[in-house]
Amino acid sequence: MKLCMSLILLVFVLFVVSLLVGPAELRVEDSIAGLFAGGSEAAAIIMREIRLPRALLGLAIGMSLGLSGAVLQGFLRNPLAEPGVIGVSSMAALGAVLVFYSGLAGSSLYALPAGALIGALLAILVLLAIAARQGSTLTLILAGVALSSLAGALTALVLNLSPNPFASYEIIFWLLGSLKDRSMEHVALALPLMAAGWFLIALSARAIDALSLGEEAASSLGISMSLTRFLIVAGVALCVGAATAVTGTIGFIGLVIPHLIRPLTNRMPSSLLLPAGLGGAALLLAADIAARIVLPAGELNVGVLTALIGAPFFLWLVVRARREML
Amino acid sequence: MPKRRKCLPCLSGLALLAGALLVAPVSAAPKRVMSLNLCTDQLAMTLAGPDQLVSVSFLAREPGLSMLHEEARSYPANHGLAEEVFLENPDLVVTGTYSLHNTTALLKRLGFHVEEFSFAQTLETIPGEVRRMGALIGQEKRAQAIADDFTRELETIAAGQCGKDPTMIAYDQNGIASGRGTLADSVMQAAGFANLAADMGVIGVAPFPLEQVIAAHPDVISIGAPQKAPTLGEFVTRHPAIGALPDTRIGAFVPEASLSCGIPSVIEAVRALAALRTEIAPCHGNAAQ
Amino acid sequence: MDLHADNLSVTLANRHVISDIGFKIKPGVLVGVLGPNGAGKSTLMRALNGQLSVKGDIRFGEHDLAVIGPAARARLVAYLPQQRTIGWRLTVRDLVALGRLPWRAFGQRASARDEAAIERAMEMADIASLSPRIATELSGGEQARVLMARAIAQETPLLIADEPASGLDAAHQIMLMRSLKGLAAEGKTVLVSLHDLTLAARWCDEVMLLNEGNLAALGSPETVLSDENLARIYGVTAHRAQDGNGLIIAPVGLTETAPTS
């Protein structure tokens, strides 16, 4: 597993760089001291309460998005399947926005993942129903486009209707996510859910391999389709729901990474899972570092960067998918 | 800092002069005054005689924006539409320079007497604005009294301060800080605080990285009061990193809506912050230096 | 183990696709499943593999195939669907190795026995030389052989293959039938649906003739593929001949009366 080892190394390096980048411009030795030594000096607070949760979330959310993309592509035998493209992320954002801004749960942060999970779950169930009836690549993508536009519009509507005038400024956050100013509370909120999602997705590894041969052959190889569907729907909903709840919609990671990594593997869907997760973590960490460097004070939304990389890539894939089926 | 302070008297002098030039002697006080702007609403409500003010803007009733929101309920509300003005046919319309451009232009063309207030984002121009409004609606005496009270209280507050100014940042939703050229900055200075954001070069209301707040370690972080409808931006001002700062006072120290307009009631914000300063840096009976 | 079906019916979208079929097949027999388009061949094969909900009994030895779980079934029955799906640019060997999935626990590596089964299956399907090639870049016939090898590698006592010969060249059709015959000779039960009457007649031990969801005939190729049955069910007249290795049936024309459909 040379590939995994080098990816782990890359993720580690980016994680460390992510800890060292920030507007406070701490010196490297102060950063390290702040992270490990105790105390309540500014450096310690910045490292432990601001930069560490940010790097942890970048790692875990990138991992979740990479894994979700890889498992969805394997499950649907569709190289364009990705939580952002097919509208799962935007539905998760809508769910979070509906529950949070309505104030149903007071102003508790727990409202966010609850709503996002429901939104993601609904989206996947709708898409699977559509994809199951008509297996074509295009159908799924078109359904995803419809779902994302609807969810995006409704998100904007809900935020505009909020009695709090500041809410409408947060449309951008939900449509193009950001890791800015997250805290350990967000890590505690999202990480357990994402870890559960990783576990469920890992359990589906055999099934997505067998599904390379189609559903009937897979089922004849001892794969329970209903169990597999449950594992993947729940796993992706947990990953994407929890990720979107704390960072808004971050698109294209689950699309770009599996494609970059697949040629480096034997292309068996299961052997793509771990490298795609690690690759996703590396990409999101790198994008988040770039977001802080490009505009140090104002800070770019990281979703803008992933879209800038991902959207042209997606176009290229669409053009290529016409010529050769992967 | 001292440099800027030196310049202030000449600025307020200019404002006075401008006020005097703008307010040509009005022969008779207008009987029916209509206000279309949140800030002129509050100024007019403070100064107008009984039945002189026919309506104020609907925003004047918002507790989050208007210090006089209760009083505003006793006036009819308008939405700043030219049609409303036309039907009401007031003798004088007062509004803000930066709002309702088109409406103002239209009303002027229709021959209404429209007076605009620019509300500079500083305390020094407030007495001048009060006197100008007073002159416009024929309440010069009341205006003069309010303006004098305002100036006197500012002086008293300034005299009660001693020692080095504690640092403060006005930190709002999504990590937005009030820098130089804002009313909040002026209020902080008047109350004897050094505005951290202004000192670090922030101009106007702009994003201020959370990390820099922590690194600068201000004595006071003034945040907005929690709203009924939640936003994610609020969580930035409630970030655990802020809470972890030792010896930093964090809270909604400024009365709600007191900073939304450059009008005499902004003195309540100055008073609140001045009280906080006295608590943080008491003078121990030593005379102010 | 005997394959035993009793009162077997399948209803799809309110249409009886298989009505009340019963049969018994002994182990070590290569059975050709024949019948015109829409006779229910694929439906029967899917039903035997538990892909459809059925009425009636399907038993394989002591196992009730109608209720058995997918993992246990995968060690008893290998199934090659008619639809040839290859989802990714996998190598031939990796594809064939998927046939060993039912025998490997989660996360377990391929054992020596798995490796042997994969090698053998590739030999039987004559694809050993294609082993490192990307399966999606192969011709249709080559892909068919790769997928057949995948089913063979599963090494189950019952093998069900839906039209494995379609798209194969003449030599590979014969190679395929020889391999299937060899599997039957090992004591496995092999069910294979075919369109080629000669292929069925020469290689199969028994032929099951389906017509409109009913079992029209089951028995030796000579008795089942009679002129009368071919005329009644396929609506064709056939030229037949016999050589040292068996029957040759070449359809040459249509009967006067159209087939009963």
- Complex-level ipTM: 0.91
Could you tell me which of A160, A270, A254, A253 has the C-alpha nearest to residue A204?
A: A270
Please indicate whether, in this complex, the C-beta atoms of A101 and B229 are within 8 angstroms of each other.
Answer: yes
Spell out the SS3 assignment of B102-123.
Answer: HHHHHHHHCCCCEEEECCCCCH
Cβ–Cβ gap B231/A46 under 8 Å? no
pLDDT of B26 over the 60 cut? no
Q: Closest by alpha carbon to A252, among A88, A44, A65?
A: A65
The residue of chain A with its CA nearest to that of B231 is: A167
Question: Nearest CB to B241: which of A26, A49, A173?
Answer: A49
Query: Mutating which of A20, A25, A97, A107 best tests the B interface, going by the most B Cβ atoms within 10 A?
Result: A107
Cβ neighbours of C71 in A, within 8 Å = 222, 224
Please tell me the number of Cα atoms within 13 Å of B82 on its side-chain side. Answer: 14
Query: Quick check: B173 and A183 CB within 8 A?
Result: no
Q: What is the pLDDT of residue A144?
A: 87
Res. B288: pLDDT tops 70: no
Q: Identify the residue among A164, A174, A179 best suited for mutation to test binding to B, counting B beta carbons within 10 A and taking the highest.
A: A164
Domain that holds residue A131: 2-323
pLDDT for position A323: 60
**Rg of chain C taking only CA atoms, in angstroms:** 18
State whether residue A295 sits within 8 Å of chain C by CB. Answer: no
Domains detected in chain C:
1-76+156-223 (3.40.50.300), 87-150 (no CATH)
The pLDDT of residue A32: 83
CA distance B284 to chain A (A): 30
Residue B14 above 70 pLDDT?
A: no
- Asked if the Cβ–Cβ distance from A212 to C77 is below 8 Å, we say no
Q: Rounded to whole angstroms, how far apart are CA atoms B3 and B5?
A: 5
Specify the pLDDT at position A33. 82
CATH number for the domain that contains residue A173: 1.10.3470.10
CA-atom Rg of chain B in angstroms:
20
**Is A266 strand, coil or helix?**
coil
Residue B9 pLDDT class (50, 70, 90 cuts): very low
Question: In this predicted model, what pLDDT tens digit does every residue of B52-111 receive, in sequence order?
Answer: 999 999 999 988 888 899 999 999 999 988 888 989 899 999 998 876 778 888 888 888
- Within 8 A of B233 by CB-CB distance, chain A residues are 166, 169-170
> Is any Cβ of chain A less than 8 angstroms from the Cβ of C235?
no
Touching B (3+ Cβ pairs <8 A), the chains are: A
A158 CA: distance to closest CA in chain B (Å): 12
Chain C residue whose CA is closest to A207: C101
Output the average pLDDT for chain C: 92
pLDDT of the residue at C148: 95
Site from A71, A137, A212, A213 to mutate, C interface, most C CB atoms within 10 angstroms: A213
Amino acid at A64: S
A211 interfaces chain C, CB cutoff of 8 Å: yes
pLDDT for B24 equals: 45
Size of interface A-C (CB pairs under 8 A): 90
Of all residues in chain C, what percent are helix, strand and coil, respectively (each to 5)? 35, 30, 35
Domains defined for chain B, CATH in brackets: 2-155 (3.40.50.1980), 167-280 (3.40.50.1980)
Determine the distance from the C-alpha atom of residue A132 to the mean position of all C-alpha atoms in its chain, rounded to a whole number. 24
Residue A320 in contact with partner chain C when CB distance is under 8 A: no
Do A23 and B211 make contact, defined as CB atoms within 8 angstroms? yes
- Our answer on whether C and B touch (3+ beta-carbon pairs < 8 Å) is no
Residues in chain C with pLDDT values less than 50: 261
Residue of A30, A46, A155 to mutate, interface with B, max B Cβ within 10 Å: A46
The whole-number pLDDT of residue B10 equals 44
DSSP label at residue B244: T
Full-model pTM: 0.86
Beta strands at C77-80 and C30-34: parallel, antiparallel or unpaired: unpaired
pLDDT by residue (tens digit) across B153-163? Answer: 999 999 988 88
The segments of chain A whose pLDDT lies below 70 read: 38-40, 105-107, 132-137, 296-298, 321-326
B215/A24 Cβ within 8 A: yes
> Is A216 near chain C, with CB under 8 Å?
yes
> Does the CB of A168 have a partner CB in chain B at under 8 Å?
no
Q: Is A170 helix (H, G, I), strand (E, B) or coil?
A: helix
Scan residues 223-242 of A and list those with Cβ closer than 8 Å to C. Answer: 223-224
Question: Nearest-CA distance from A173 to chain C in Å?
Answer: 36
Residues in chain B closer than 8 A to A23 (CB atoms): 209, 211-212
Residues of chain C in contact with residue A203, where contact means CB-CB under 8 angstroms, are 106
Q: Is A259 on the interface with C (CB under 8 A)?
A: no
CB B220 within 8 A of CB B276: yes
SS3 B251: strand
**Interchain proximity C150–A213, CB inside 8 Å:** yes
Sign, CA torsion C48/C49/C51/C54? positive
Residues A49, B173: C-beta atoms closer than 8 Å: no
> What's the pLDDT band for B13 if we cut at 50, 70, 90?
very low
pLDDT band at B18 (very low <50, low <70, confident <90, very high): very low
C133 to chain A: closest CA residue? A266
Q: Is 90 exceeded by the pLDDT of residue B147?
A: yes
**For residue range B182-203, what is the model confidence (pLDDT) as tens digits?**
999 999 999 999 999 999 999 9
- Amino acid B4: pLDDT: 40
Rg of chain A taking only CA atoms, in angstroms: 19
Q: Is C97 on the interface with A (CB under 8 A)?
A: no
**A12, C10, C16, C45 from C13: Cα distances, Å:** 55, 10, 8, 18
Number of domains making up chain A = 1
